Amino acid sequence: MKTTIQILTCKLITNVCKLFKKNGTVYPGSVALKMNGKVLESIKYPKYVIGVTGSSGKGSTTSMLAHILKDNGLNVVWNSSGSNVLNGTATLILNNTNAFTHKLKADILLLEMDESYIKKTFTKSTLTHLVITNITRDQPARNGEPEIILNKILSSIDENTEVIINADDPFVNRFSFLHKGPVCTYGINKTSYDLKKPISNNVDAAYCPICHKKLKYTSYHYGHLGVYSCPTKDFVRKTDFTGDNLNLENKEMIINSNKVKLNKDVFFAAYYTLAAYSAASEIGLTDKQIMHALNENTLESKRLKTLKLDNREVDMLESKNENNLSYVQSLNYINNHKGPKTIIMGFDNVSRRYKYNDISWLYDVDFKILNTDEIDKIFCIGRFRYDVEARLLLEGVPKEKIFMVDNINLIIKYLRENSDGTIFTMVCFDMTEVLKKLFKEANTYEG
């Protein structure tokens, strides 16, 4: 009876939130959990409960996997809102559960999950599958260093959960011998976009976790992700699902001999597509079923928003603060665009979850990528604009290319008067809507 009351309470509060035009994706679950913190243990889950976690890429991977599953007629309950911590997950689950039978109404429960909240959300045996995208320096003020994140994930599951891991990441690949249950691996072979040496000296996971000798990389995809081997063969990079012949210009690659379309021309699109392909295959979908979703009923990309300012294209990139690898991927995307470029970057808040305002992560980002002749101007916005400027200057970006914006409402005027080329906005969650509104008010918004 108690569980029934909690489910009905969650649904009632959600409907009230919608009545007042609020999202209601987090608060209803928090109320239900205050009534009984173990309510999620009373739910009857479907055959497959799939979690997707990692420092970056978990949202894109979850979206792609949900697309593949739904394209094949499966009823999927998933957190499309991106609420990936306990209260948001509880709201989703309770709102999709029958109040009287306590059965979740779905074929599959698919969850993007914050690494630190897996243990707080489920008992160890609840997840049937867990996809792990990567482990990097992410939100250091909250998570500490990568070793801590790895141990948090490992302690959240048991041998009843199959892990689907990115073997290109030596941190994640440790699950191949640390996890006691089934392990499925995926990875991308050497590409034409790889580096022989990393851009930065700040490379994590550089040593074998068994013999502690330095790993030998034949190529780096980005950061510490790449093709590597242990000199004593103690630590092996083995892939069950392999990406080959990556072609970002044509947005395609080969997965286990099948040509697959990508929905973005960026490297991490290859990773989340490969991860979703691997997970879908592991729960029984055929290559033909997966290929239909990827190649014929393609998932539209949502993260890159294209606008116009007069006759200039504006590409809006939502960049994740406190994660150097995620941030660098946005820089690489901009750098690969040919021709003159203008960049808007900055943020008002480091995080939505705490107020430590730790900016140490800026010094793990390879801003030297922006020190090129094609960069016309870099507009620094937000409360931390001077910290961003200091970081750019340290990497040798000429001061005359950096424009400090003290009044964000004048950004359109400054762009028209003091910049050239394609405009890229590289900002975090707090500035995206502000800029979009300003472009719309300039009567230039499209889409």
* Residue pLDDT, tens place only, 215-264: 999 999 988 999 999 999 999 999 999 999 999 999 999 999 999 999 98
The contacts of residue 76 (CB under 8 Å, 6+ apart) are: 66, 69, 70, 106, 107, 108, 109, 110
Q: Say which CATH class 305-441 falls into.
A: alpha beta
Q: Where are the domains of the chain?
A: 2-296, 305-441
Q: For 130-167, what is each residue's pLDDT tens digit? A: 999 999 887 776 777 889 999 999 999 999 999 999 99
What is the per-residue DSSP string for 21-55? T---SSHHHHHHHHH-TTGGGG-B--SEEEEEESS
Specify the CATH architecture of the domain 2-296.
3-Layer(aba) Sandwich (3.40)
Report residue 20 as tokens.
């007042």
Distance CA 29, CA 21 (A): 17
Q: For 331-383, what is each residue's pLDDT tens digit? A: 988 988 899 999 999 988 766 665 667 888 888 888 998 999 999 999 999 99
Quote the pTM value.
0.89
pLDDT score of 144: 78
116 close to 89: Cβ distance less than 8 angstroms? no
DSSP for residue 138: B
Q: Which residues pair with 242 in a beta bridge?
A: 187
Q: For 205-220, what is each residue's pLDDT tens digit? A: 889 999 999 999 999 9
Q: Is the pLDDT of residue 39 over 50?
A: yes
Q: Label residues 139-159 b or e (16+ Cβ within 10 Å = b).
A: bbbebeebeebbebbeebbee
